[in-house]
Amino acid sequence: MTSWCCDWFNLSVEYAGDKGITVAASYKAGVRAFYLIARFFDPEIVEEFSRVDERTGRTKWPALIDNKGYPVPLTITMAKMVRFCPGCGANLERLISKKRPEFDELVEKHRQYFSPG
C-alpha cells in the first residue's frame, strides 16, 4: 500500500467503495484528481435494490414523491473533487505529481467503485 500524506487519507483511500466517507482516485479528460465520496448504503444493498424486478418492471428503491406529486430523486452517492487533504491539509495535486505511477495504479483499482460523470 502506498503511503500518501497522513493516516486519515491512507485509510480513506483503502476503504474506497465502502459505505461512509472515503476517497477515490480518478483520471478523466487529462485530469488526475482525488474525490471525497459519501456513500449512504453498502454496495451490496445498492446492487440488490437497483435490480429491476421482471414482474413489476421496478426496482426495490422506494418511490419518493413530494407534496405536489412530483418524484424526488434519492441520492445514494455524492462525490466532490478535493485539492487538499481533509485530514492534514496536504496539497494533493503535488502529491499526485510526485507519485504518478502509484496514483495511476490506484485509479485502476478504484475504477470499479467510482467514475466521475
Tens digit of pLDDT at every position of the chain (117 positions): 778 999 999 999 999 989 999 999 999 999 999 999 999 988 888 889 889 989 988 888 888 899 999 988 888 889 999 999 999 999 999 999 999 999 999 999 999 878 776
Contact 75, 38 (CB under 8 A): no
pTM across the whole model: 0.81
| Helix (H), strand (E) counts: the chain | 4, 3
CB atoms within 10 A of CB 36: 16
Distance of CA 90 to CAs 24, 59, 85, 94, 97, Å? 16, 42, 5, 8, 13
